[in-house]
Each structure stands twice: as C-alpha cells, then as structure tokens.
Amino acid sequence: MATMRFIKPDLKWQIDNIACQNEVSLDTAPLSSEPGFLLWQKDIPKPYWELAGQELSQRVRAARAKLGDKVLILGHHYQREDIIQFADLKGDSFKLAKWASEQQDAEYIVFCGVHFMAEAADVLSQPHQKVLLPNMAAGCTMADMADPDDVNDCWQQLSDLGLAGDTMPVTYMNSTASLKALCGRNGGIVCTSSNAGAVLEWSFAQRQRVLFFPDQHLGRNTGVKLGIPLDQMLVWDFDLPLGGHTPEALAAARIILWRGWCSVHMRFSVQQIEATRAKYPGVNVLVHPECKLEVVQAADYNGSTEYIHKMITEAPAGSVWAVGTEINLVSRIARENPDKTVFCLDPVVCPCSTMYRIHPAYLCWVLEELVEGRMHNHLIVEPETAKWAKVALDRMLTVH
Ligand code: SF4
C-alpha cells in the first residue's frame, strides 16, 4: 500500500479553483431549462416542468412526510445534491441492493439511481413491495453496451466450442436483469466493484475461465490484482465471429472480457495523474476500478465508491486527495471532509449524464401521485427473468 501523503495548506485555494464544478446547489432549476430534458421522460404533467427551487423542495418534503414509512427513498452516491438530500439511505449499488433485500416494511421503494439498479431492487425486494424509478430514461451507457442478444450469442458460441461448462459467467451489477438471469441459469454470479475480487476467486474455485461483462476495465483490473497475466485475458469483440479469437485462444484464456466501458471513468488518464503530481507534490491519487489499467496502476489506491468514501473519511486531517470517479461523489466527499483537500482528477469532468436525469421534479411527481393513490414508473422485471436474476444476485450477496 502506498504511503499517505500531505500537502501544504496554502495550496488548497488553488486546488479549490481548479476542481471542476458539479451540481452543488440545492436550488434546483426547472426541468424545462435542462438542456437534456429533450431526451428524458416526457409524460410528466406540464406544471412539473416549471417547478423549481424552494417550492419544489418543499413539495417533495411534504409528500414524503404524508407517505411516512410506506416509502423508502434510496439514493446512489452519484446522484446530484438536490436529490441525495431526500434519500433515506445512500450508498453504492452493492449497498443499495443489500438494503433493498433487507427493508421489507416499505410498500414503495423509490430508487434514485439508474435503471439496472432499480431492476435489481425489484428482483431482491418482497412481492408486496413496488420499486419506482422517478425517470424511466435514467439508464447506464455501460449497461447498454452489453446487449442481451449479443451476450447470449457469445454464450452460445462458447457452448458450441464446448467451453461453456468450464466458463463462469460473471456480470457486473451494471447490466440488465436478463443478463443477471443468464448468469443465474448457468451457475454464474453478479459482482459489484466492492466484491469483484472475491467473486472472481469464487468463480475460479469452480471453473477454469470467466466470461466477464460488461466492463472490461473492472474485469481486467480485478484479474491483474489476482495475478492473472494480461495475455490470458482476451477482449470479446461482439461484432466479430468468436469475438475475434481462435478456438484455441479462447480455450487458453482465463478471463474473457466484454468490450464495454464507463464513459465517465474512461476520461481519467495517466497524463492527468502526472500533471496533478507535478502541480501538487504530496497528493494522494485514488481512482475507481472502472478506470483503465494504466490509470489504476499509476494511482496510489483504487476501489469502489464505498471504498473511496471510507478511505478519505478515515484519512488524517491535512491529507490531500485527487479522486478519479464521478464528480457529484467527489464534491460531496470534499464538503463532508473540510479538514482535508479533495478534488477531482479531471478538471473538466462532467457528471454521469444518466444519473443526472433524476431531477427533483420527477421525484416530486412520483411522490405526490403516490399520496393521491396513483403509481407511476413502477418497474417490474418479468417473473422468469426475476427468478434467475435473483439466483445470481443472492450468490453475490453471500460473496464478500
Ligand atoms: S457512472 Fe458509468 S457505469 Fe455508472 S451509471 Fe454512469 S455511465 Fe453507468
């Protein structure tokens, strides 16, 4: 483990000035003024389009208070500030999935995150519970890179080669319920960035090879941590027969990585780390394992959003952190740790644009309609898919 570093306090103001801007305001702008609204869910009644600021916030709180224990609001760490303030529980996808499986009293789980997370909550919750996603257009570009038809086709090709029996299908949480079901049906498992290492160890204890989707970087970084040589990890190109490999190469592979990535974490680079170190000697660099291998290797530390949060929270006062993950989380950690200096590794990084789609107007609409006895955006995973997805998710919850 790298030695934790410190930096001169007088550099703090400079860092504050280069750190990128995020959604720090609780004074929400109306939906109609959001440039991305054109691509978001539109069937929200027009009066909500113009709601903003304090009125919006007061209405969310009033509806929340009327619903009481009937509602649980879950918020992912990457949610904007004017949403996370309403979350009863906040965490990464692993923590939120675990909570969804444990909180059995709330009738409604309002999931402030993205589509695949709400699907997982529906699969893990009890039959009497209903999961609502405030904006159905809140997806994940990485999850979209693993089209279920393409992954099923890959699995079929491995079966035709006689390799599927030796291959453990492992899907990252960031995937559709149908891909989690594919894993469940075939002895496989779901992982998150919190438990990817333990999941790969669990997999290799049973089979000689892993098919890991959709994030090649988390798969590769985790494989390297376990000591698997890079030449035993192949990237499956879903546009090519056999993913672009020979049957012999696939048979020899330890990890077959899907060609997917996170557009937010792909922005971080070794050049940024070098520039940050040159400008701020003594800085600690901490990145998420969805970053490229060379970035993870150039950093001092890497880990899940929960790890990042814990690491900085428990760090000594005066320590300085350049963080490679989504900006809303970085800025929140910075505000929660005023005795440390925390900033984003990429000075111009944008927030996750799909997480950002959970605007408070959607939350207000969903809650006020529940108060009136009407339910919108109820997310339901088809029962057969849910059954097998749950098998893979339950395995995930037992592996740490
Ligand atoms: S940060 Fe990346 S992986 Fe996470 S929801 Fe956004 S696009 Fe998907």
Examine the fold and report which residue of 260, 278, 311 is the final residue of a domain before the chain moves on.
260
Quick check: CB of 352 below 6 Å from ligand 1?
yes
Q: How far is the CA of 113 from the centre of ligand 1 (A)?
A: 10
Atom of ligand 1 nearest to the CA of 354: 6
pLDDT computed for residue 376 by the predictor? 98
- C-alpha 140 to ligand 1 mean position (Å): 5
Same domain, residue pair 56 and 113:
yes
Cα 238 to Cα 10: distance, rounded to the nearest angstrom: 51
CA–CA dist 256, 355 (Å, integer): 28
Ligand 1 neighbourhood includes 233 CB (under 6 angstroms): no
264 Cβ below 6 A of ligand 1: yes
CATH classification of the domain holding 126: 3.40.50.10800
pLDDT score, position 295: 98
Final residue in a domain of this structure, among 260, 291, 321? 260
For the chain, 400 residues long, give each residue's pLDDT as a single digit of tens.
Answer: 444 444 333 433 333 333 334 455 667 999 999 988 988 999 999 999 999 999 999 999 999 999 999 999 999 999 999 999 999 999 988 889 888 889 888 999 999 999 999 999 999 999 999 999 999 999 999 999 999 999 999 999 999 999 999 999 999 999 999 999 999 999 999 999 999 999 999 999 999 999 999 999 999 999 999 999 999 999 999 999 999 999 999 999 999 999 999 999 999 999 999 999 999 999 999 999 999 999 999 999 999 999 999 999 999 999 999 999 999 999 999 999 999 999 999 978 668 999 999 999 999 999 999 999 999 999 999 999 999 999 999 999 999 7
The whole domain housing 151 covers: 146-260
Q: In this predicted model, what pLDDT tens digit does every residue of 101-135 receive, in sequence order?
A: 898 889 999 999 999 999 999 999 999 999 999 99
Does the bond joining 229 to the residue before it have cis omega, within 30 degrees of 0? no
Kindly state whether residue 366 falls inside one of the protein's structural domains: yes
Binding site membership of 355 for ligand 1 (Cβ less than 6 Å):
yes
> What's the pLDDT at 98?
85
pLDDT at residue 349, as a whole number = 66
CB < 8 Å & 24+ apart, contacts of 159-164: 161/242, 161/247, 161/250, 161/251, 163/209, 163/250, 163/251
Residues 356, 357, 361, CA angle at the centre, nearest 5°? 110
Tell me whether residue 397 is in a domain.
no
Q: Minimal CA–CA distance to 345: which of 303, 302, 292, 285?
A: 285
Q: What is the DSSP string of 37-94?
A: GGGS---S-HHHHT--HHHHHHHHHHHHHHHGGGEEEEEETTS-HHHHTT-SEEE-HH
Atom of ligand 1 nearest to the CA of 143: 8
Question: How far does residue 186's CA lie from ligand 1's centre (Å)?
Answer: 26
| Interval between CA 388 and ligand 1 midpoint (Å) | 24
114 CA: nearest ligand 1 atom: 5
Sheet holding 301-302, edge to edge: 301-302, 284-287, 320-324, 341-344
Ligand 1 centre to CA of 141 (Å) is 7
Distance in angstroms (rounded) separating the CA atoms of residues 328 and 21: 9
d(CA 262, ligand 1 centre) in Å: 6
Q: What pLDDT does residue 113 have?
A: 97
Q: Say whether both 315 and 375 belong to one domain.
A: no
Evaluate whether 336 touches 258 at the Cβ level (below 8 Å). Answer: no
The DSSP element (H or E) to which 302 belongs, if any, is strand 301-302
User: Closest Cα to atom 8, ligand 1: which residue?
Assistant: 140
- The tens digit of pLDDT for each residue in 73-102 reads 999 999 999 999 999 999 988 889 888 889
Dihedral (Cα; 147, 353, 174, 154), 10-degree rounding: 20
Q: Which atom of ligand 1 is nearest the CA belonging to 140?
A: 8
Query: Final residue of a domain: which of 230, 260, 290?
Result: 260
**Same domain assignment for residues 115 and 160:** no
The number of domains in the chain is: 3
Residue 378 lies in a domain: yes
Q: Is the CB of 141 under 6 A from ligand 1?
A: yes
- Is the distance from the beta carbon of residue 140 to the nearest atom of ligand 1 less than 6 Å? yes
Rounded distance, CA 272 to CA 53, Å? 36
Q: What is the pLDDT of residue 15?
A: 36
The reply to whether 15 and 51 lie within a common domain is no
Unique residue bearing structure tokens 């559709």: 176
Best residue for ligand 1 mutational test, from 94, 112, 142, 328 (most atoms within 8 Å of Cβ)? 142
For CA atoms 308, 312, 315, 320, give the dihedral sign: positive
Residues 120 and 206 in one domain: no
75, 100: one domain? yes
Q: Is 145 in the pocket of ligand 1 (CB under 6 A)?
A: no
Q: Left (φ > 0), alpha (ψ -120 to 50) or beta: where does 230 sit?
A: alpha
CA distance 228 to 337: 37
pLDDT computed for residue 16 by the predictor: 35
The answer to the question of residue 393 being in a domain is no
Q: If you measure from the C-alpha of residue 294 to the centroid of ligand 1, how many angstroms do you get, rounded to a whole number?
A: 20
Q: What is the rounded CA–CA span in Å between residue 202 and residue 200?
A: 5
The minimum-distance atom of ligand 1 relative to the CA of 215 is 3
178/77 same-domain check: no
CA nearest ligand 1 atom 3, residue: 262
Distance 261 CA to ligand 1 centre (A): 9
For residue 265, give the ligand 1 atom closest to its CA.
2
d(CA 308, CA 289) in angstroms, rounded, equals: 11
Whole-number pLDDT of residue 25: 61
pLDDT of 351 reads 82
- Ligand 1 pocket member 142 (CB < 6 A): yes
Task: Verify that 92 and 177 share a domain, yes or no.
Answer: no
Residue at 389 is within a domain: no
> Do 121 and 65 sit in the same domain of this protein?
yes
